[in-house]
Amino acid sequence: MERLVPTPSLGVIPERDSDKPLILDIHGLGIDFGGLHAVEDFTLLIGRTEIAGLIGPNGAGKTTVFNLITSVYQPTRGVILFDGYDTRGKRPDEVCRMGIARTFQNIRLFKDMSVLDNVLVGMHNHIPYSMLSAFLHLPSYHRKEKEARDKAMDLLGIFDMQNMAKWQAGSLPYGAQRRLEIVRALATEPKLLLLDEPAAGMNPAETAELMENIRSIRDRFGIAILLIEHDMSLVMGICEGIAVLNYGKIIAKGSPEQIKNNPTVIEAYLGKQEA
Amino acid sequence: MSFLSHLINGISLGSIYAIIALGYTMVYGIAKMLNFAHGDVIMVGAYVCFFALNAFGLPPVVSILLAMLVCTVLGIIIERLAYKPLRAAPSLAVLITAIGVSYFLQNGALILWSASPKVFPTIFEGTIRLFDGQLTIGLTTLITIAACIVIMVGLTLFTGKTKMGKAMRACSEDKDAAILMGINVNRTISVTFAIGSGLAAIAGVLLCSAYPLLQPTTGSMPGIKAFTAAVFGGIGSIPGAFLGGILLGIIEIFAKAYISTELSDAIVFLVLILVLLIKPAGLLGKKTVVKV
């Protein structure tokens, strides 16, 4: 594959990432469902280690953007360059292997499987033994399975969930299920982590803790994180760059300060102010 | 003593149903389709073994392995050619395709190997006598039961411990989420068909060792009964297929022995209907609550 040079476009990326290649460079992205332009002319740059936010009213097309980035949908127009590579025509599992992982707005854990097994499924492509050595129970199979389990436990440690490893995923409390989804996504060893409403249904204390967790995940793994979130305290608290989506179009981009004071954003959220 | 003898025969027949039912249930669990051609893969496996033994004079173990290999490849080819293009199609279209594949295999066998029944050679010779010769058990019977237990334990370990097994469980629970975790679902489905069809070959050889008449329709009735067993135990569940198969075998043999040979099949299906009336998801099946 040829490594492409990102097209220059407007966007804020953190200073520290400015001399490194962009992790995500989306240009003129659009998708139509029938006659509806669900997402139109979507352009976004994300730095190597940036925490970015995608916000907007309900039905603005935020999750559609996630589905486009992860190749669940193929775009009608536009280009997505991930780490310099075009993701067009790739299957979702291939995009995952390239280094994009995600969580879901409505939690989609493997509920009948144990917490540990959920994480191990995420590690699927990084457990390097063949089917044959598994069938024959070769020592390499046992060694690699053990390495994988240790690593999975280590990942669960991010959220202090080691003691829940044997629990059935579906039996976890709601907040823990959300956290497990993040761990499972991290297990795929992503370079870009997409979080779809990670704080949904969490109380303020849990949200504050989650903010710390997200920041420490970024610091520990050195990855970029793009999150969709309605909780403004979280978005404004941890995101370095924010894009606001309304009716499938970006209506504003900038730092939290810029977004907070942008009249177009305020109008989209609260309606037009009477004169 | 005859009761014990019937029980053992029932478990043995049930073991064959269980091995076939595993194929149905695994494919259903992962691809969410009923592979009605599964029964006919059994027949192909039995024919391959028959010719390997009789025409080529290969040793039994080699013949069985050859049958497994051919059926595994056949299973993968059927999936690739007939079912994979229909991945996004309504389930009815897939079901009808499966019935079509079933007829294709039966009629293919008819052309290749003619309708005249072949007598399957005895592979496992010998009997074991217990209780001063009052109870005689054929070696075939014992090997069938043993094979079923080995397969059951092996599959449980495979799905529980290995990464491919975990990928299969993940696909069966939430295919879209599994894809987004980097799992190649098409490959996982292929592996499932391969395993199911390989097991079908074993079932074919065991079936024809117990009932040594081989013809192109040999697989259809056991196939339907094994499907019944899978539904009986709870389709999609591996222990369910095992339990359903064994119970169905026992019921069938007892019905034959104590009620009526002619009515035994009717009784088997009557039990299925009763179980489904009381437990619609099968014995070990999970109740699915649909959100309204």
pLDDT tens column, B101-155: 999 999 999 999 988 898 988 888 888 887 777 788 888 999 999 999 999 999 9
Q: Residue A7's pLDDT is what? A: 45
Q: Residue A1's pLDDT is what? A: 44
Residue B187 CA to chain centroid, in angstroms? 21
Residues in Cβ contact with A9 at an 8 Å cutoff, skipping those fewer than 6 apart: A25, A27, A43, A45
- pLDDT, tens only, A19-40: 788 899 998 999 998 888 899 9
Q: Which of B164, B181, B237 to mutate to test the interface with A (most CBs of A within 10 A)?
A: B181
Residues B33-51 have a mean pLDDT of 94
Q: Residue holding tokens 């990670």?
A: A198
Average pLDDT along chain A = 87
- Inter-chain contact B182–A72, Cβ cutoff 8 Å? no
Q: Residue B91's pLDDT is what? A: 87
Provide the edge-to-edge strand list for the sheet that holds A249-254.
A100-102, A192-196, A224-228, A51-55, A241-246, A249-254
- The listed CATH number (3.40.50.150, 3.40.50.300, 3.40.50.1000, 3.30.1360.100) that belongs to domain A1-96+193-275: 3.40.50.300
- Inter-chain contact A108–B182, Cβ cutoff 8 Å? no
Two structure tokens written together for A81: 């360059």
Q: Is residue B236 part of a domain?
A: no
Q: Is residue B148 part of a domain?
A: yes
Compute the distance between CA of residue A180 and CA of residue A161 in angstroms, rounded to an integer.
8
Residue B129 CA to chain centroid, in angstroms? 29
Q: What is the reported pTM?
A: 0.84
pLDDT classification of A273: cutoffs 50, 70, 90: low
Residue A227 CA to chain centroid, in angstroms? 6
Give the number of other CB atoms < 10 A from CB of residue B270.
13
Q: Residue holding tokens 């199979």?
A: A141
Q: Are A167 and A114 in contact (CB under 8 A)?
A: yes
Q: Three-class SS of residue A127?
A: coil
**C-alpha closest to that of B195 among B165, B227, B235:** B165
Cβ of B187 under 8 Å from any chain A Cβ? no
CATH class for the region spanning A100-189: alpha beta
- pLDDT, tens only, B14-39: 999 999 999 999 999 998 888 999 99
Domain boundaries, chain A: 1-96+193-275, 100-189
Q: How open is the CA angle B191-A189-A184, to the nearest 5 degrees?
A: 70
Residues A50-64 have a mean pLDDT of 90
Task: Please give the span between the terminal C-alpha atoms of chain A, in angstroms, as a whole number.
Answer: 56
Number of domains in chain B: 1
Does pLDDT of B67 surpass 90?
Answer: yes
Q: Residue B287's pLDDT is what? A: 62
Closest partner residue to B170 (CB to CB) among A121, A131, A134 is A121
Cβ of B171 under 8 Å from any chain A Cβ? no
Q: Residue A59's pLDDT is what? A: 85
Tell me the nearest-neighbour CA distance from A59 into chain B, angstroms.
Answer: 21
Compute the distance between CA of residue A229 and CA of residue A234 in angstroms, rounded to an integer.
8
Q: Is residue B59 part of a domain?
A: yes
Torsions phi, psi of A45, nearest 5? -115, 140
Q: Is residue B182 part of a domain?
A: yes
Containing domain of residue B37, as a range? 12-220
Q: Are B45 and B73 in contact (CB under 8 A)?
A: no
Cβ–Cβ pairs < 8 A, chains A and B = 79
- Inter-chain contact A188–B181, Cβ cutoff 8 Å? yes
Residues B255-275 have a mean pLDDT of 89
Q: Residue A168's pLDDT is what? A: 94
Cβ of A112 under 8 Å from any chain B Cβ? yes
Residues B168-188 have a mean pLDDT of 92
pLDDT classification of A267: cutoffs 50, 70, 90: confident
Two structure tokens written together for B70: 């051919």
Greatest Cα pair distance in chain B: 64
Closest partner residue to A96 (CB to CB) among B162, B170, B180 is B180
Q: Is residue B68 part of a domain?
A: yes
Residues A85-101 have a mean pLDDT of 93
Q: What percent of chain B has pLDDT over 90?
A: 64
Q: Residue A2's pLDDT is what? A: 46
Two structure tokens written together for A24: 């995500």
Two structure tokens written together for A108: 């989609």
Single-letter residue type at B10: G
**C-alpha closest to that of B33 among B21, B24, B42:** B24
Q: Residue A9's pLDDT is what? A: 47
Identify the weakest region by mean pLDDT among A110-114, A252-256, B199-203, B255-259: A252-256
Compute the distance between CA of residue A36 and CA of residue A59 in angstroms, rounded to an integer.
13
Q: What percent of chain A has pLDDT over 70?
A: 94
Q: Residue B289's pLDDT is what? A: 60
- Inter-chain contact B182–A91, Cβ cutoff 8 Å? no
Q: Residue B100's pLDDT is what? A: 95
Element (H, E) at B248: helix B238-254
Q: Residue A201's pLDDT is what? A: 86
pLDDT classification of A145: cutoffs 50, 70, 90: confident
Q: Are A98 and A83 in contact (CB under 8 A)?
A: yes
Spell out which residues of chain B touch residue A109, defining contact as CB-CB under 8 Å.
Answer: 177
Q: Is residue B286 part of a domain?
A: no
pLDDT classification of B227: cutoffs 50, 70, 90: very high
Q: Residue A114's pLDDT is what? A: 94
Spell out which residues of chain B touch residue A131, defining contact as CB-CB under 8 Å.
Answer: 162, 164, 191
**C-alpha closest to that of A20 among A46, A44, A43:** A46
Q: Are B220 and B227 in contact (CB under 8 A)?
A: no
Cite the DSSP H helix spans in A123-203.
Answer: 131-135, 139-156, 174-187
pLDDT classification of A275: cutoffs 50, 70, 90: low
Residues B153-177 have a mean pLDDT of 91
Cβ of B179 under 8 Å from any chain A Cβ? yes
Does pLDDT of A49 surpass 70?
Answer: yes
